[in-house]
Amino acid sequence: MVYKILTNLRKKIMQKGGFVNAHCHLDRANTAMYFTEEERYKLLKEKWKLVDSIKKKSDYWTYKMRIEGAIDNQISMGTNTICSFIDIDEVASSRAILAAREVSQERKDVTFCTACQTLKGVLDPTNDLLIRNSLIHVNIIGSLPGADKDREEEHLDKVMGWAKRYKKRLHVHVDQLNTPKEKETELLARKTIKHGLEGRVTAIHSISLAAHPKTYRQEIYKMSKDAGLSFISCPSAWIDHPRREDLVPSHNAITPVDELLEHDLVVAIGSDNIHDIYKPYSDGDMMFELRMLLEACKIYDEDQLIKIATENGKKVLGVE
Ligand SMILES: [Zn+2]
């Protein structure tokens, strides 16, 4: 007899309406073929710049077709709710966000939310103006503090100001590099409390948390609880963590979701990059991401897994 535990888990998720992919970048999905093998092996922050080439070549219609194709693919794999970050900067201008907004209004077969991706930062006046002019079109304020290197606090103050002014939720890429040198989840929790945004902010990744000692992690979980911070883990996103020689507490290169759950924090999942320069072979299958999460963090509680794959995603997107 075949042991159907995985099939049954998937069936239960479908009965709840399907997967929620709470974080991805569909405006550059399926673009891996435009990059050389050498470019695909570059480091994350180098790729932040390399994607400019594809952004320059993409007009409104290219973006629209690319996003629609990626959504069709997501639906075929059982995902019914998606939040995609969309590049808004001096290279993509507002072509991608206008196309994404159009798709979001047209598609009735999926809930498609958008957030601004701030790859060129929010402090430079040109990018600041472009993003501010587009905020009316996004469902969620998106942020990447690392793009404003050494000015991360200013970056967060600005995007939190937008979240308050536009009364929208805020999703922030933090602690991506799996190193104790990063303490961005802590900064995000502190800033959330300072700005009075408790319960409206979500941390994407928070992988570096796992590279810190237990006492520090416990402190951050408590602080996150006070800030009402929720989390999106993209399980396969950093599983290709470059091997390093520094010594840190042993762990897998993934958000410490098992510990977040122990502290009663809300966790959702996302696919992050799909068939692009960052992840040429990632197909965005949320069942694969859930499996990666449950294996890496040893989470066998089915009720928890179903919540992570479905209702928690809707919670962090504010589409309950
Ligand atoms: Zn991302």
Structural tokens at position 191: 């800033």
Q: Report CA(263)–ligand 1 centroid distance (Å).
A: 24
The contacts found for 33-41 with CB under 8 angstroms, 24 or more apart, are 34/277, 35/277, 35/280, 39/277, 40/277, 40/280
Distance 297 CA to ligand 1 centre (A): 21
Q: How far is the CA of 2 from the centre of ligand 1 (A)?
A: 37
DSSP per-residue string spanning 211-228: GS-HHHHHHHHHHHHHHT
**pLDDT per residue of the chain (320 residues) written in tens, 0 to 9:** 677 999 999 999 999 999 999 999 999 999 988 888 888 888 888 887 888 888 999 999 999 999 999 999 999 999 999 999 999 999 989 999 999 999 999 999 999 999 999 999 999 999 999 999 999 999 999 999 999 999 999 999 999 999 999 999 999 999 999 999 999 999 999 999 999 999 999 999 999 999 999 999 999 999 999 999 999 999 999 999 989 999 999 999 999 999 999 999 999 999 999 999 889 999 999 999 999 999 999 999 999 999 999 999 999 999 97
Q: Which residues contact 202 (CB under 8 A, 6 or more apart)?
A: 169, 170, 171, 172, 229, 230, 231, 232, 268, 316
- How far away, in angstroms, is 154 Cα from ligand 1 center? 20
d(CA 12, CA 249): 35
Cα(82) to centroid(ligand 1), Å: 13
